[in-house]
Structure 1
Amino acid sequence: MTEVETAVAIAVPLEAEHVERIRAVDPSVTVLYEPELLPPERYPADHLGDPAFRRTPEQEERYWQLLNRAQVLYGFPNDSPEGLARIAASNPHLQWIQAMAAGAGGAVKASGLDKESLRKLRITTSAGVHALPLAEFSALGILNGFKRTADLARDQADKLWPEVRTPTRLVSGSHLVITGLGEIGLETARVARALGMSVSGTKRTVETLDGIAEVTDNEGLAGLLPAADAVVNTLPGTASTEKLFDRKIFSAMKPGTVFINVGRGSVVDEAALLEALDSGQVSYACLDVFAVEPLPAESPLWSHPNVLVSPHSSALSAAENGLITDRFCTNLRIFLDGGDLPHLVDPVHFY
């Protein structure tokens, strides 16, 4: 019996060593990879590539011809919603796309794909690949807030040795609330417990979880916050999470709470967060994501003394491309065997 060929096209920059690992998954896999058609990476896991890169008209035609031969894509074309919309319309053979982002639902929604396209085309996210770096960044935010590193940096800049020293807070024995106990949230909980914290949190489907003191849905979030010393948001941006962290939620926190956001900026009402920072309800905020990105120059968050601004980079690590390739190779094996792909983008809620 002749094996059915499965064509996999690499649509975004990827190191040759990882391309070879994809080729090795199964003899029936043909990898379509022309590196000269892909922009060079500016840093590890730069899926967009150098924005100065331009294909010639002939290269542009070859790029889309290559992608239109594939049943499977590694990455959205040009790493963009527009590229996703174009390939969905032009490639009738396409069955599955592996997205690079954990929160790929936003790009899928922005592509404007109709219900029929969303029904036919399976799109998997890289959820979980970024769990450890995001958990470590969250731990950084907690430690920064508890150990007053913003104050220390200001004193150092001013060459100030305070006559009266200010004590710091112990992380061990404190309580953390995590919104979104998925893979990122659970990895954050694991790291927090290693620091001696107890953990509660929210989950869309309420269930008992090992190591988590209390689990509720987002409707019950306000009831968890009075006990929280720190709060980490990992939630995606959806209609149901839009500005979940509003004035009511921030007012439910006890004074001095440390707040970290590694989910999506749309989950936070930034005006309400600034009010909470100015009142001391939130003592420190470590933010990797924002309602508008790049963060506008006029945003007060840039200059607030108790805010750390990270340019949506906390998930990046030198290991990312290798980890995504690991995930893709596992998924490709499932796909070839006719199994159910994990981490599919929900075509209704887009997460």
Structure 2
Amino acid sequence: MSPESPSPAASRAGEPLTVAIAVPLEAELVEAIRAVDPAVTVLYEPDLLPPERFPADHVGDPAFVRGPEGEERYWKLVNSADVLYGFPNESAAGFARVVAENPRLRWVHAMAAGAGAAVKASGVSRAELERVTVTTSAGVHALPLAEFAVMGILNGLKRTAELAADQQAKHWPELRIPTRLAAGSHVVIAGLGEIGLETARLARALGLTVSGTKRNAEPIEGIDEVATAGRLPELVSHADALVNTLPGTAYTDGLIGREVFAAMRPGTILVNVGRGTVVDEAALLEALEAGTVGYACLDVFAVEPLPADSPLWAHPRVLVSPHTSALSAAENRLIAERFASNLRSFLDGAALPHTVDPVHFY
């Protein structure tokens, strides 16, 4: 399936349509969704939703309990909708249940950019996924992820991990070690989608040159070289940094492993803002010990939360971020605006962007 798919049996403008808000959302953003079309009924019962603990907390307070009556009301609400804003209970199990129980459901908009993993985990059949289209919030998170990726590159170039260690030890080194310039350095981006291209834009603004991978290796303006993933070892052989933005699929599992690390120059920087399964963590630790990877800035991991016994926690040249790099105070507004735009397209029978592929789940 392409990033844009035909709108799934959409209602025409002016015809009745029911949208249910299944996750916590500010009242003013609910009103913005209602304003898309007067024929759209938006179901929103905030007392059935857990309070947000912070901006864009889609799961809400885990201590929240609906009780039997509230639970019944909640499932009656989501099972009466043609369209859902968010997975019920923001979980794969909630998605599976609503697909099974709600025969009128045609479209679910997920809060995550990488919702394919949750769709796959739900176990919903391909036939049901042909009936119920899932769109993601891909693109909404591109800028914060790109800023985080560039921060990781700069951390590696400017030796911030060593500076922090010296500060902690109150150590003023006798020899001052030069840092590397961003200008003139080269970054390879594995995955030149929206996040990758936004990362490339910011990197180029700092004077870095950029190459990268894409399924279709067609030229992209401003990118020195575009190649398929099979040529990643060749690309990293002359790179100062490698940024992963790829989703977790059968094709990307362990893609950045021993072959890629062996091709790197000593001191290469690794940033991962894609999915943790793309990086072979055992091979990464070997590369860190060998000095092939000089610094790793990691927001995602093969197992999350990162197990307490993982050596990555204490490694002096690794920054561990708890899968939070995509978060921003503006996230709820941006997702609601994306959904409102998609809703207009749905009503008009136009294609919906960023649909989850029912076979490959990205």
Q: Fold match, TM over 0.5?
A: yes
Identity %: 70
Match for residue 250 of structure 1 among 251, 256, 261: 261
What residue number does 1:17 align with?
28
Are 2:298 and 1:268 aligned? no
What residue number does 1:211 align with?
222
Match for residue 77 of structure 1 among 88, 101, 106: 88
What residue number does 2:304 align with?
293
Please tell me whether the aligned partners of residues 126 and 359 of structure 2 are also in contact (alpha carbons under 8 angstroms). Answer: no
Match for residue 138 of structure 1 among 149, 162, 172: 149
Q: Distance in 2 between matches of 1:215 and 1:51?
A: 44
1:118 shift after superposition: 1.1
SS of 1:208's partner is: coil
SS of 1:283's partner is: strand
- Please give the residue correspondences for 1:98-109 in structure 2 after superposition, counting only pairs within 5 Å: 98-109=109-120
TM-score w.r.t. length of structure 2: 0.96
- Please give the residue correspondences for 1:26-175 in structure 2 after superposition, counting only pairs within 5 Å: 26-175=37-186
Counterpart of 1:347 in structure 2: which amino acid? P
Counterpart of 1:259 in structure 2: which amino acid? L
CA-atom RMSD in angstroms: 1.0
Structure 2: unaligned runs, 5 residues or longer: 1-11
Q: Distance in 2 between matches of 1:95 and 1:238?
A: 25
SS of 1:301's partner is: coil
Q: Distance in 1 between matches of 2:209 and 2:176?
A: 28
Please tell me whether the aligned partners of residues 117 and 361 of structure 2 are also in contact (alpha carbons under 8 angstroms). Answer: yes
What residue number does 2:292 align with?
281
1:3 shift after superposition: 3.5
Counterpart of 1:225 in structure 2: which amino acid? V
1:22 shift after superposition: 0.1
Shift >3 Å, 4+ stretches: none
TM-score w.r.t. length of structure 1: 0.99
Structure 1: unaligned runs, 5 residues or longer: none
SS of 2:312's partner is: helix
1:2 shift after superposition: 10
Between the two proteins, the alignment pairs up a number of residues equal to 351
Counterpart of 1:325 in structure 2: which amino acid? A
Deviations 1:100-140 (A, max 9, x none): 00000000000000121011110001110000000000011
SS of 1:200's partner is: strand
- Please give the residue correspondences for 1:290-329 in structure 2 after superposition, counting only pairs within 5 Å: 290-329=301-340
SS of 1:227's partner is: coil
Please tell me whether the aligned partners of residues 17 and 82 of structure 2 are also in contact (alpha carbons under 8 angstroms). Answer: yes
Higher relative contact order (CA 8 A, sep 6+): 2
Counterpart of 2:326 in structure 1: which amino acid? A
